Chain A
Amino acid sequence: MSPKQITRRWFMEQCGVGLGSMALANLLVESGYASGADPLAPKQPQFPAKAKNVIFLFMAGGPSQIELFDYKPQLAKFDGTLPPADLLKGYRAAFINPNSKLLGPKFKFARYGQSGAQISELLPHTAKIVDDIAIVKSMVTDAFNHAPGQLLMNTGTMQFGRPSMGAWTVYGLGSESRDLPAFVVFSSGAKGPSGGDSCWGSGFLPTVYQGVQFRSAGDPILYLSNPKGVDRELQRDSLDAIGALNRGRLKTEGDPEIETRISAYEMAFRMQSSAPGMMDLSTEPKHVLEAYGAEPGKPSFANNCLLARRLVERGVRFVQLYHEAWDQHGALVRDLTKNCHDTDKACAALVQDLKQRGLLDHTLVVWGGEFGRTPMVQGGSDGRDHHPNAFTMWMAGGGVKPGIVMGESDELGFNVVKDKVHVHDLHGTILHLLGFDHTKLTFRFQGRDFRLTDVHGSVVNSLLA
């Protein structure tokens, strides 16, 4: 064991990383100041847990729960009428006058699986996995604009500068991968995430915990390829020369940070050889490609789902796929149809594939966006505004109870009436599934112990298997 590992372990044992008592030593280690410590070393959670990895399918823009999961026959009945006035008290909408006419669901629903979950005709593939997933129809959030909403869903606050869920997870558990980043982000869809880079940022946590954006075409990681004119042998020779000179310096300076740099270069070299292979979907059997709807070389959400599975197989802790396409202020019917066509099959295939490979047990899959959409119409009759009071998400694997539907919204889909799950509760639950008491996974910053759930959140026990 190298000295840096020793110091590292000592700090972990003596100071209880993440247990709220950050000593100075710890502060320095975690900020990357401590000589030679490896902040990504694998760590044990606070208690035994099933989930070791997370795949978060972030449906950015705010998918319409009313058209996808939360069937509202009464809303159809009241289509074209104004919502009850007392429902709107204190309600703020982004674009519409809240006192706009109700709009009935645009698609048909049916019951599926043993759970009998009601699923829209737009999601024929998700319908096939309802017994593997837990559908939460009672999500609420505080935000009704995209950037703040995405930040809240990712970091537990609408303010910038806080660590994302993925960063907290890697901070808590470290990395199992020696040649890939611990937290990987993909993006597909018509736009990028509204919250930008901060959706997967490390906030005040050390920057090593931030998500690394992968591209699904070209170099997956920035600057992964050698420059033109540098072949693998030259790269190897160069690393050997760099390593040799660095080792020489280590001898005179005695700074363990040099040793960390030497291993970082070696890991970079390993990344160079393993990442392209990981990204190469042409090695997947045809039936797998077809199940996802993935096509090697053609960037898509489906490809990203398949890549997510491959990353998890290789020990990547947290994978987040953004698909920014769900902001249907207008063209609700056309665009939802397209979005579901682009994502439904791959989401279902991912869950099935993970299950088949025995990965689902320790991989938590989460599907959802930053908020839902209004039961009221925006524009003529084919759009909905942002709606924070009730929306739907689903989770699968990693210790989540399969085949359940929890929570209810009212008959119009406006407010949650049963088993409300706030974003903070979702976060607390995700951390619980990963083996953390969300009140005790903390980081001291500005004189205060911060956590993903701030001062809120409780674990949703009915979601646990």
Chain B
Amino acid sequence: MHSGYVRLSFLATAFAAAALAQSRVDFARDIQPVFAKSCYACHSEKRQMAGLRLDSRASVLAKSVQPGKSAASELYRRVAGIGDQARMPMGGKLDPADIERVRQWIDQGAEWPESLAGARATHWGFTPPVRAAIPKGAASPIDAFILARLAKEGLKPAPEASRPTLLRRLSLDLTGLPPTPAEIDAFLRDTQPGAYERQVDRLLASPHYGERQARTWLDGARYADSDGFEKDKQRQVWFYRDWVINAFNRNMPYDRFIIEQIAGDLLPNATQDQIVATGFLRNAMTNEEGGIDPEQFRMEAMFDRMDAIGKGILGVTIQCAQCHNHKFDPLKQEEYYRMFAFLNDSHEANIAVYTPPEQMKRADILRETRELEGGLEHRTPDWADRMAQWEYTVRNPAAHWTIVRPEVDDISTGGQKYLPMEDGSFLAQGYAPTKHTVKLTVKTDLKNIAAFRLELLKDANLPRGGPGRSVDGTLALTEFRVEAAPASDPTKPVAVTIARATADVNPAETPLDPLYSDKSDRRRVTGPVTFAIDGKEETAWGIDSGPGDRNQPRKAVFNAAAPIANEGGVILTFYLKQNHGGWNSDDNQNNNLGRFRLSITSDPDAVADPLPANVRSIIAKPRAERTPAEQQAVFHYWRTTVPEWKPVNDRIAALWRDYPEGSTQLVYARRDTPRETHILARGDFLKPAALVTPGVPAFLNPLPAGDPPTRLTFAKWMVDRRSPTTARSFVNRLWQAYFGIGIVATAENFGTQAEAPSHPELLDWLAVEFMESGWDVKHMARLIVTSDAYKRSSAATPELTAQDPYNRLLARGPRFRVDAEVVRDIALAASGLLNGKVGGPSVFPPAPAFLFVAPASYSPKVWIESKGDEKYRRALYTFRYRSVPYPALQTFDAPNGETSCVRRGRSNTPLQALTLLNEPVFLDAARALATLTLREGGATDQQRFAYAFRRCTGRQPDASDGRVILPFLEKQKQRLRDGWLSALDLAGLDDAAKSALPKGATPVDAAAWTAVSRVLLNLDETITKE
């Protein structure tokens, strides 16, 4: 213990000295943040305890500070605990270093710049960055600022790191993958000037660059592949993930990058990519547990979006203002909800999306269809007249329908919410049971009711726009029943016999997709509408008419055998049985109606209108008022009714059978009918207060003048050249990625509570450079990684560690354990297992099965292990369930996507050791590295060791490393030969693998090298960026 005390005091002194070594205290940098953090709560705008305001120069100088005389200044005496007055701040103490700075500041004259003199003086972070004068003495402005600071601290920069180390650092930072030995050799051979810059260019051009940068961005975008909350169902959002990768690879300017993610859908002629980009706003979680109020969780998602924009883009924590005015930053609750209003007016949409090959296929189908239709027109010169004739014959839909607005029986919904819409329809929301029969009751005065119509409507909030709620936007109606009771005696309902049913889509009988299996052995089918009135549990009306045509509004009409003639009103009760879902209601297995509307008529001959709704509305217009596209749409339908065109119609139908299935993506979409935004008292959605209009906080830049108050304007405002925080926030995150800690350590917060920047002028210089370069991300990356500061050796002397333990001053190079995904990718790359394919659906590498079933998981989750080398895709592509994070990544601090995260923790735990030692994919990597080493590593064990070691660490082993590993290898060989260890088990060799061993290698070799490889993959150096 004795020596402990000695060293303790040494370190404490050294650290305090380092912290205070700066000669001149800067009010904005050193003092104001301390006031803001520790004093404003009681001494500023809101409260002025003892009449003191520490946000006002006049107040401070009048009462508490005598410039040049700290000992006589109340402020210093109170914070330092001198005298018998209560020590400030109440209930705590300032950091000793801060107290010392207050003393120095006063003694140096208590300089308080005019610009910061007012009450609520402007905080540095909210003042737009300007370039400071670059200190002399270095070619790169980055180095100039850093060297100037080092000189002030009396520190000498470390020398440049060795080339292998440097290339490994650069590769890990830019691509997240270690360099291959060949790449290192090439760099070592390149002795011409500019060799390093050539490596930078090569890596910036690599498709893996985008993957690495994307992962960092996705943390802030709280990306995950599942809904979160109890059900935590799978969702498809990987198109968004790939959009981010591509955006970085194409070096999309950052302002564009933000605009597309916030409002890509609102850009003129928005492309699929631009719409997909709004997935950023849809990475919020969705709660579909039973018994929820969907509006409550829509609001939760809104708060989450705001939080992600605050932390991820603006670098301002705005979450507090959800419930009240921000305590520390000048953000009012009203201003929070004014920003909220920009986002509130949107659908949480789910659209079909297509990969480039699929898009080509679709284009081909559309083109060929048009060509064939053009051919029909060409060969039928009077087609327009014939179509007009046809229009005349079908112009009047026979029946007149009355829309009914029934009441939903709460108990019948199986927990699903039926939200009544303005047009009389219902939108299904919330929990989605796989089997239920909803009961809807309405009283009507219509006499002689003869038929009922069920319209299935589209809605942006449904999967692929609906009209159903299944993952494909389809549905199945097991049974349609109606009861009628006289209004005078509701207790006497009589079942209405349905004599006939018609629909505008009647697919052939099709067995239910295995997705909807209910684990019964019944043969369940969908088919024509008559299946909904056959009284059979196994059959249902389906609407799936193929991928190109399945997400259309549909209708069915059910005719009563005899009109319902109750005088004095009728109470109708509809039963819509939806029992064609699967066995697990906690998964995406529902087959429910999504949005629908019921109508009634007294017309006994009513049938379902065969014309699609859009055609019906077009032909209601005079021909002269129709657009060519509308006319084309009418033709498109009409031609299917012309008997002699059957051969061509069949050819077109055949084309459409090849229509690509596509995928889905959650996106944001504008609502046609505006939604009002209110301030929510205490953030409670049940307590709406004053109405607000869209707007931005006064302490940030103003909205672009003259632009309409849309989400697009909001997006443009974020990346306005005048924004004080946007550019700073992003360059700081870049810096953090490369150096481990940002220039501002609190990457999520540049407000008054932020930690003061270590190099404020550098931060601002970088921010301005970023904006003036056209928000060029690769340019900024290049600037940073070509600086001397970045290239320094990370080796630290004890003195340096003591003086600057976190390397904030950058006298040495960065050294820290890489991110979770990179830990995995290094093992895959070093062992040669890595499948470098970029993009596509998320994959399912091996994971412990028990995690995905109860009681570990709330309900069973699908985890079908990927086959072949799909197992060995980069960790970025691992499927991410929010409630069951992939353990090998979680253990290394990967965030789970529940909230926006712009700064990961970096722990160092025994569970990490167990994972690296024993997890199956890491074991696969050890075995693969062994085989590779035996095949390519050279003839001697020494050469092989050097080969394997380099693949893991990038450098040649030291002699001392060999003195550990070679005896270890020998010992394991001996134990294997002696039968203490099983070579086949250790090397994981089955017969096929045995025969595939490299020439001359024995199972004992493979096993012993597996043991060595396992050691090398576990080295601190292997999972660390030096």
**What is A's interface to B at a CB cutoff of 8 Å?**
1, 3, 5-7, 9-10, 14-16, 19-21, 23-25, 27-28, 31-35, 39, 92-97, 144-148, 159-161, 181, 187-198, 201-202, 206-208, 212-213, 215, 218, 221-231, 233-235, 237-238, 240-242, 244-246, 248-249, 252-258, 260-262, 264-265, 267-268, 271-272, 322, 324, 379, 385-386, 440, 444, 446-448
Contact = CB atoms under 8 A, between A and B. Distances in A.
A253 B327 contact: no
Contact of B291 (A39, A145, A440): A145
B745 A256 contact: no
B705 interface: no
A316 to B, nearest CB: 14
B228 A244 contact: no
A24 B101 CA distance: 15
Interface string B692-728: 0000000000000000000000000000000000000
Given A7-B11, A33-B906, A212-B911, A24 B745 contact: yes
Contacts of B290: 94-95
Interface string B873-915: 0000000001111010010010010110001011111111111
A455 to B, nearest CB: 10
Contacts of A201: 896
A187 B856 contact: yes
B863 interface: no
Contacts of A260: 908
Contact of B905 (A92, A206, A241, A446): A206
Contact of A94 (B292, B798, B905, B1020): B292
A448 B8 CA distance: 30
8 contacts: A33-B816, A94-B292, A191-B859, A227-B986, A229-B982, A234-B986, A267-B910, A440-B91
Interface residues of B, number: 128
Given A197-B896, A229-B1007, A253-B795, A264 B910 contact: yes
Interface string B211-248: 00000000000000000111010000000000000000
Contact of A254 (B38, B798, B1007): B798
Contacts of A379: 411
Nearest to A21: B92
Interface stretch (B61-69, B471-479, B776-784, B958-966): B958-966
Residue of B415, B915, B968 with highest tally of chain A CB at under 10 A: B968
Interface stretch (B80-88, B349-357, B527-535, B747-755): B747-755
Contacts of B906: 31-33
B780 to A, nearest CB: 23
B27 interface: no
B913 A265 contact: yes
B908 A446 contact: no
B794 A448 contact: no
B93 interface: yes
B794 A446 contact: no
B1020 A27 contact: no
B8 A244 contact: no
Interface stretch (B536-544, B591-599, B627-635, B1011-1019): B1011-1019
Nearest to B883: A196
Given A95-B291, A193-B858, A222 B1018 contact: no
B988 interface: yes
Contacts of A253: 794-796, 815, 1026
Given A197-B890, A215-B850, 14 more contacts: A1-B8, A145-B292, A146-B230, A194-B858, A195-B230, A198-B883, A206-B905, A222-B914, A228-B986, A229-B1010, A246-B1019, A246-B1020, A248-B958, A264-B909
Interface string B1-24: 101100110011001000000000
A448 B289 contact: no
A24 B975 CA distance: 51
Contacts of B870: none
A387 to B, nearest CB: 12
Given A35-B805, A207-B905, A265-B910, A161 B415 contact: no
B981 A190 contact: no
A139 B410 CA distance: 28
B806 interface: yes
B917 A386 contact: no
B975 to A, nearest CB: 7
B12 A10 contact: yes
Interface string B407-443: 0001100010000000000000000000000000000
Which 6 pairs between the two chains have the least Cβ-Cβ distance?
Answer: A447-B753, A94-B291, A196-B883, A229-B986, A229-B985, A161-B899
Given A35-B806, A245-B964, A265-B910, A238 B917 contact: yes
B751 A264 contact: no
Given A10-B12, A20-B92, A32-B908, A145 B317 contact: no
Contacts, number: 325
B319 A446 contact: yes
B972 interface: yes
Contacts of B91: 20, 440
Interface in B88-132: 91-98
A261 B1018 CA distance: 10
A144 B855 CA distance: 22
B754 A447 contact: yes
Interface string B764-803: 0000000000000000000000000000001111101100
A196 B230 contact: yes
B795 A96 contact: no
Contact of A28 (B293, B745, B797, B885): B745
A189 B595 CA distance: 36
Contact of B7 (A6, A23, A96, A191): A6
Nearest to A262: B1020
A224 B805 contact: no
Contacts of B327: 448
B320 interface: yes
A458 B848 CA distance: 42
A254 B795 contact: yes
Given A324-B854, A446-B748, A237 B972 contact: yes
Contact of B794 (A160, A230, A246, A255): A255
Given A196-B232, A264-B910, A146 B289 contact: yes
A27 to B, nearest CB: 6
B93 A21 contact: yes
B670 interface: no
Contacts of A223: 887, 911, 914-915, 917-919
A255 B232 contact: no
B680 interface: no
B736 to A, nearest CB: 10
Contact of B975 (A222, A228, A233): A233
Contacts of B857: 192, 196
Contacts of B92: 16, 19-21
Interface string B286-312: 010111110000001001000000010
B1020 A261 contact: yes
Contacts of A231: 980-981
A1 B287 CA distance: 50
Nearest to A189: B855
B230 A194 contact: yes
A147 B229 contact: yes
Contacts of A241: 964-965, 968, 1015
B845 interface: no
A198 B801 contact: no
A453 to B, nearest CB: 15
B95 A15 contact: yes
Contacts of B914: 221-224, 268, 271-272
B859 A192 contact: yes
Given A27-B755, A92-B293, A223-B915, A197 B858 contact: no
A251 to B, nearest CB: 9
Contact of B805 (A7, A233, A235, A237): A7
A96 B291 CA distance: 8
Contacts of A96: 410-411
